Amino acid sequence: MHLVTRADWGAKPPRSPLVHIASTRGVKVHYEGAPVPADLAKPENHPKCAGRVRAIQADHLANRKENYSDIAYSFVVCPHGHVFEGRGLHKLQGANGNRQLNLNHYSVCAMVGDSGLTHPTNAQLDGTRDAIDLLREKGGAGAEIKGHRDGFATECPGEPLHAWVKKGAPRPGGAPSPPPHTGIRISLSHVITAARSDPNAAQGHTTFPADVRPVEAALVAEGLLDPRLGDDGSFGSQTLDAYASYQRRQGLTGADADGIPGKSTLTTLGSRHGFIVAA
């Protein structure tokens, strides 16, 4: 992976502090949606890419309608496969269309446009995949890979990139990568105990916080739990209500949707958000 840090590409500091997020459902892929010179993909033109990222940031900071506090994307990938750090890991990005969509997914923008350079290079697809995998491994991104247009009225990320996304975002010449686990293992019995004891205890009480935090982060990524509660380690009443909503989303009703996790729903949640459920 060719990672270019904010310091390396000369980023300006954010206008205001960026919001921390624990995790997301996954990643949405974008394109610039403006002309990109076709010859930018030539190897000798790679030195221009950092300047282009600076221009994107400047354009976003000047956009008073959207009122961006920084470059909107989590990462930007140039035609040569280099991954430029935008807002980066565990930061609420601003490119997906509204606050809830921004909470649901990180964003990766491939430096292609609606004219000129419209088809991503193989190196760029590799770099975009590198950025997605980094967001999964280090940023708590879930398994979903979507285009910006999926859930928002836009042409982004253009037909070539969207066709690649619909195939599962495979590396050139390869098959789609399976959703990875982060290696985090949580105990079903610990989570059940926390769900039964924390809501009735004093505010902020935690029973098994290390087991509860991945569940909270997943519920935040599902849009069911306030992000401010997503890392406190307490399976309190709001987390209980959020989990009940998740159970109903899975088709459960009545006493089966009481907010106390069961193995089936917790395993499904873990498969979407990168944790493994043990007994």
Domain CATH number, residue 11? 3.40.80.10
Final residue of a structural domain among 134, 166, 198: 166
Q: What is the mean pLDDT of residues 103-110?
A: 97
Query: Is residue 177 included in any domain, yes or no?
Result: no
- The reply to whether omega before 157 is within 30° of 0 (cis) is yes
Please give the sequence-ordered ranges of beta strands (E in DSSP) within 130-193, or none if there are none: 141-147, 184-187
**Alpha-carbon gap, residue 232 to 113, rounded angstroms:** 41
For residue 212, is it within any domain?
A: yes
Q: Are residues 149 and 200 in the same domain?
A: no
Instruction: Provide the mean pLDDT of the chain.
Output: 91
Report the pLDDT value the prediction gives residue 174, as an integer from 0 to 100: 61
Same-domain check for residues 12 and 68: yes
Residues 88 and 137 in one domain: yes
pLDDT interval class at 249 (50, 70, 90):
confident
Quick check: is 172 in a domain?
no
Residue 269's nearest CA partner among 23, 29, 74 is 23
- Reported as a single tens digit per residue, the pLDDT across 115-163 is 999 999 999 999 999 999 999 999 999 989 999 999 899 999 999 999 9
Confidence at residue 177, expressed as pLDDT on a 0 to 100 scale: 47
Q: Distance (Å, rounded) from C-alpha 241 to C-alpha 258?
A: 8
Asked whether residue 248 is domain-assigned, the answer is yes
Is a pLDDT exceeding 70 seen at residue 178? no
- What is the pairing mode between strands 105-110 and 141-147? unpaired
Residue 129 domain flag = yes
Q: Same domain, yes or no, for 160 and 247?
A: no
| pLDDT exceeds 80 at position 203 | no
Model pTM? 0.64
Residue 261 has pLDDT above 90, yes or no: yes
Domain end point (choices 166, 192, 211)? 166
**Do 133 and 190 share a structural domain?**
no
Phi (first) and psi of residue 141, to 5 degrees:
-70, 140
Q: Is pLDDT above 70 for 107? A: yes
Q: Are 39 and 146 in a shared domain?
A: yes
- 154 and 114 both lie in a single domain: yes
Domain that holds residue 212: 184-278
Q: How many CB atoms lie within 10 A of CB 13?
A: 9
Per the domain annotation, does 171 fall within a domain?
A: no
The domain total for the chain is 2
**Measured in Å, how far apart are the chain's first and last C-alpha atoms?**
37
